[in-house]
Amino acid sequence: MSKRRGNRRRMIATLAELFDHVAPDEIDEVREELRALGVDPSAAARRLEQVALRSIRERILREHSNAARAPIHRRTAVDFTDKLN
Amino acid sequence: MDVVEELLRVDWGDTGMKLAAYAAFRSRNLYWRTGSDVALAKGLMPEDIAAQAIVSVIGGERKWEPERGPLLPFLKRVVDSLLNHLALSADNGRIVRLAQDDRSLYGAERIAFQEGGEGSWQRCPADFDAADLSESKYDADERIDRLAEATRGTPELAEVLNAILEFNEARPRLIALRIGKPVNHVNNCLKRLRRLALKISADVEGLAVSRGAIHP
């Protein structure tokens, strides 16, 4: 009995390890995973998209500002200010 | 190509959603003092962890180099790192043995599938005593039986589960060899088995309806 139980414990560990390798990656699975948590997938997508775009805007402004402050011979040709709109 | 240009090409809606789901998936493998998979520690949710990862990568705090690989896997590694730090944070308390009275939706799954001493859950090895036949281990036994029972009507799932149980094999590639099927088939079956295990846990806890049932 204890041997069987010991084997079962190993099986449980094996299942946990296998499940750990199958993260949801297709969009339907992703939506299902979020819904299971009580999260609206579309709302999450909108929120995270806004977070990302705001961060990109901040990065562009920062890089632009750094480029403007750099000595002329070290300035990069990058200008993304047109992307801000 | 410049990193900013690459970042501007990304579909952030899709990427964000995938990352939030990944954070939710990974957070289930960690202990949270809250006993919840939604509220982790410091009042953060999996979606917030995804947002933190996005901000730190776009901001350059975590440097992504496009020539070294695609963005999403990199973001996922950042999520792993953030979740590990959060789990080990003072706010989450020390990592302790999984609570046996855990009544969260996936608490039962954690107990059933992560209590083995040889598994990925090895943060506190001293807590896993092979001689300790606590009630949760009997529960775990029962959960494996329930999973086996639930796969009876689905031969492809039963085949994969039997191969796992019979050979105690934790590599999908080798399971595929054992049953003579492609690795993709095994991985798909594993995803369905996982959802089935979640559903069984949810049914046991009687919380499936309120939190959204998961179907195989």
Task: State the ipTM, two decimals.
Answer: 0.72
Q: What's the number of domains chain B is made of? A: 2
What is the reported pLDDT for B90? 82
CA distance B166 to B65: 43
Neighboring chain B residues of A33 at a CB cutoff of 8 Å: 21, 24-25
Q: What's the number of domains chain A is made of? A: 1
What is the reported pLDDT for B169? 81
Q: Has residue B213 got a pLDDT over 70?
A: no
* Mean pLDDT confidence for B31-40: 80
* Mean pLDDT confidence for B76-96: 82
Domain stop point among B76, B95, B114: B95
> Which is nearest to A41 in space by CA: B121, B79, B18, B201?
B18
Q: Which of the two residues, A75 and B196, has the higher pLDDT score?
A: B196
Tokens encoding B79: 């999520």
Pair (B198, B167) in one structural domain: yes
Pair (B81, B109) in one structural domain: no
Neighboring chain A residues of B47 at a CB cutoff of 8 Å: 39, 44, 47-48
Highest mean pLDDT among A61-70, A71-80, B114-123: A61-70
Residue A7 lies in a domain: no
Chain B from 138 to 157: CB within 8 A of any A CB: 140-141, 144
* Mean pLDDT confidence for B55-63: 95
Pair (B23, B51) in one structural domain: yes
Q: Which long-range contacts (CB under 8 A, 24 or more apart) does A63-71 make?
A: A63/B4
Per mean pLDDT, which range of B127-131, B142-146, B193-197 is the poorest?
Answer: B127-131
Pair (B58, B163) in one structural domain: no
CA distance B52 to B75: 10
Residue pair B196/B157 in contact by the 8 Å Cβ criterion: yes
Domain stop point among B31, B65, B95: B95
Pair (B122, B144) in one structural domain: yes
Domain hosting residue A72, numbered range: 25-84
Pair (B137, B214) in one structural domain: yes
Neighboring chain B residues of A18 at a CB cutoff of 8 Å: 164, 170, 172, 190
Residue A14 lies in a domain: no
Domain stop point among B95, B116, B141: B95
How does residue B77 score in pLDDT terms, banded at 50, 70 and 90? very high
Pair (B20, B63) in one structural domain: yes
Q: Has residue B57 got a pLDDT over 50?
A: yes
Pair (B76, B125) in one structural domain: no
What is the reported pLDDT for B203? 67
Residue A2 lies in a domain: no
3-class DSSP state of B136: helix
Q: What percent of chain A has pLDDT over 90?
A: 29
Q: Has residue B64 got a pLDDT over 70?
A: yes
Q: Has residue B195 got a pLDDT over 60?
A: yes
- Closest Cβ–Cβ partner in B22, B58, B141 for A23: B22
Q: Has residue A23 got a pLDDT over 80?
A: yes
What is the reported pLDDT for A1? 43
Pair (B124, B207) in one structural domain: yes
Residue A13 lies in a domain: no
Pair (B203, B105) in one structural domain: yes
- Count Cβ atoms within 10 A of the Cβ of residue B131 and give its class: 0-12 exposed, 13-18 middle, 19 or more buried: exposed
Domain hosting residue B52, numbered range: 1-95
Residue A3 lies in a domain: no
Residue A4 lies in a domain: no
Pair (B114, B87) in one structural domain: no
Query: Is B174's Cβ below 8 Å from some Cβ in A?
Result: no
Q: Has residue B158 got a pLDDT over 60?
A: yes
